[in-house]
Amino acid sequence: MSSSPLNILVIDENRIRAAIIESGLREAGHGRVTLVHDVAGIARRIAEIEPDVIVIDLENPNRDMLESMFQLSRAVKRPIAMFVDRSDSAAIEAAVEAGVSAYVVDGLRKDRVKPIMEMAISRFNAFSRMARELEEARGELENRRTVERAKGILMRSRGLSEEAAYALLRKTAMNQNRKLADVAQSLVTAAELLGPGGL
């Protein structure tokens, strides 16, 4: 984690509990803490504050309240630590699905705030890294498929061997200073536009 101070947003309608969280964070060395007591218009507030981490404390959340917080966590793409007094397995499952990094039941104590927040950040980072790697792997696979299709088009339209088709794609990419997958995509798109026998 970077050494610059974290910008932490605490969302809690109960001012006393919010003060406990704030105090725990400040004692742990976090000076940039913003408290928000009203969840109305919270998405706009988050956009203004641009927090690195969000701590949500819900004393006795009802279904609607939880659902709106889960929607929020899906939208903001930030580490979120959520404290609730009571919960059931369905709510816990929904929290995980929504991407809440740490969901703590029966647990607001000042000394727990910092370690839980740190766990939320590390879980969020690990999850983000996995999601990014998965996205890259999907992209790689998609690129490979496109190159295979482009080779097939060249083999059919120009009577080339697979090696010759690949060599032509590579040479074109190098000449045009483009990625192989981009050249392949252009060829596939052109073939689709021109239809059978067009290339």
Overall average pLDDT of the 138-148 stretch:
91
Q: Which residues form the domain of 86?
A: 8-108
Check which CATH number belongs to the domain holding 12 and give it: 3.40.50.2300
Same domain, 49 and 141: no
Residues 110, 2: Cα–Cα separation, whole Å: 24
Q: Are residues 100 and 17 in the same domain?
A: yes
List alpha helices for 15-109, DSSP H.
15-27, 42-49, 63-76, 89-98
Same-domain status, 19 and 93: yes
Query: How would residue 1 be classed by pLDDT, with cut points 50, 70 and 90?
Result: very low
The listed range with the strongest mean pLDDT (6-20, 73-87, 162-176) is 162-176
Residue 31 shares a structural domain with residue 83: yes
Range with the largest mean pLDDT of 15-29, 76-90, 108-122? 15-29
- Residue 38 tokens, joined: 């009203």
Is 146 domain-assigned? yes
The domain that holds 179 is classified in CATH as: 1.10.10.10
Q: Cα(91)–Cα(63) distance, rounded to whole angstroms?
A: 8
Tell whether 102 and 150 lie within a shared domain: no
In a domain, 126, yes or no: no
- What's residue 109's pLDDT? 67
Could you tell me if residue 155 is inside a domain?
A: yes
Map residue 106 onto helix, strand or coil.
Answer: coil
Give 2's pLDDT tier (boundaries 50, 70, 90). Answer: very low
C-alpha angle with apex 180: 174 to 184, nearest 5 degrees? 120
Q: Give the residue among 128, 154, 141, 124 at the shortest CA–CA distance from 181.
A: 141
Cβ pair 83, 66 in contact under 8 A: no
Report yes or no on 23 lying in a domain: yes
| Domain final position from 108, 126, 161 | 108
pTM: 0.52
Q: Is residue 182 part of a domain?
A: yes
Domain boundary among 92, 108, 124: 108
Do 104 and 138 lie in one domain? The reply is: no
In angstroms, the Cα distances linking 195 to 141, 157, 172, 191 are 25, 12, 22, 6
Nearest to 166 by CA among 155, 177, 175: 155
Low-confidence winner among 28-37, 106-115, 150-159 (lowest mean pLDDT): 106-115
- What tokens appear for 143 in the block? 């690129």
Over residues 60-82, the pLDDT tens digits come to 666 677 777 777 766 777 888 87
Question: How many structural domains does the chain have?
Answer: 2
Query: According to the model, what pLDDT value does residue 177 have?
Result: 92
Phi first, then psi: give them for residue 190, nearest 5 degrees.
Answer: -60, -45
Structure tokens at 75: 């939208």
**Domain boundary residue among 58, 74, 108?**
108
The answer to whether residue 114 sits within a structural domain is: no
Q: Are 41 and 88 in contact (CB under 8 A)?
A: no
Same domain membership, residue 162 and residue 102: no
Two structure tokens written together for 165: 């088709």
